[in-house]
Amino acid sequence: MPVADYKIFCEMLDRAREMKFAYPAINVTSIQTANAVLRGLAESRSDGIIQVSTSGAAHISGTYLNDMSLGAIAIAEYVHRVADRYPIYVALHTDHCPLELIEKFIIPLVEETERRRKNGLPNLFNGHMFDGSALPLDKNLEVAYTLLERMHKSELILEIEVGVVGGEEDGIKARENARLYTNPEETLEVAKKLNTLTGARYLLAATFGNVHGVYKPGNVKLKPEILKECQEMVEREYGKEARFYLVFHGGSGSSLKDIHEAIEYGVVKMNIDTDTQYAFTRAIVDHIFKNYDGVLKVDGEVGVKKAYDPRTYMAMAEISMAQRVKKAAEELKSKNKTLYGNH
């Protein structure tokens, strides 16, 4: 049962916070990229998270249908089919979903899990992310509370964001004047609102200068100490049990020092997309450049079928992306820490 159930996913999160490591949460857009994540995690002996965004899910459904909820269901069902052949646990999660797409994305996926549970089947996903960071805090938390109340009944974990991750990811672009650093007082409001739902589990993406997209090392000005302040403030007010399970968004270009410091302060999940996209595409470009006359019918020639057969370069891309997943597991200290075999 390597797609983690609720109990195992909660244990994964608890273990990561206690042992001070984080799980790679890799966005996928196809069966091939999902396979890359599974391979990279398995070769690292690391548990991890496969996740899909709204536009990534729409892409999975195909350009004709362009249906985000259908694409998300399809890739999740695929992972459920194949993951039990891998010696690690993997959780399934969705990524940034703004308010205007909740009814098209999160709600159909929650409904699918509700149907599955009525039929004695496991949950389709482990959790979903609502991104209300562009909303006033009270509205953000009002929507989050409603979602968490419903999701908890089906043993689903909610991820929310307070503060704004800069840059652009999957068509969601931060405002130019966005405040990239979460105010620790805001996290008190998160705990005050959401902790009233006894037993419900949620993840918090508190921002500390994070920026989506491509940035050279040193260009991202992170302040991980903000996470420390958030944890200390909520602990003083509500006790140690109220400390957050934090998520690190927009990590491309971050120094290893900042990543490890963020983990020290309670980051248990780090989203990775840009770097794995590049690793996947890099292998394809390398193959095409080296086999230009083979992948194209140049000057009346017929090309080389093995060179332009998609299976050739897609397999290379899968392996290349898997290598980047392995690097993430090592950097996040999740390597060789799988729970698989302990249950």
The contacts of residue 109 (CB under 8 Å, 6+ apart) are: 69, 72, 73, 94, 124, 125, 128
Instruction: Specify whether the CB–CB gap between 143 and 132 falls below 8 A.
Output: yes
d(Cα 305, Cα 71) in Å, to the nearest integer?
31
Q: Quick check: 132 and 139 in contact, CB under 8 A?
A: yes
Active site residues: 95
* 3-state SS string for 28-57: CCCHHHHHHHHHHHHHHCCCEEEEECHHHH
Q: CA-CA distance, 189 to 198, in Å (whole number)? A: 16
DSSP string, 202-251: EEEEE-BS-B-S---TT-S---THHHHHHHHHHHHHH-GGG---EEE---
- DSSP H helices, 86-202, are 106-118, 137-152, 184-194
CB 313 within 8 A of CB 252: no
Contact indicator for 33, 283 with CB cutoff of 8 Å: no
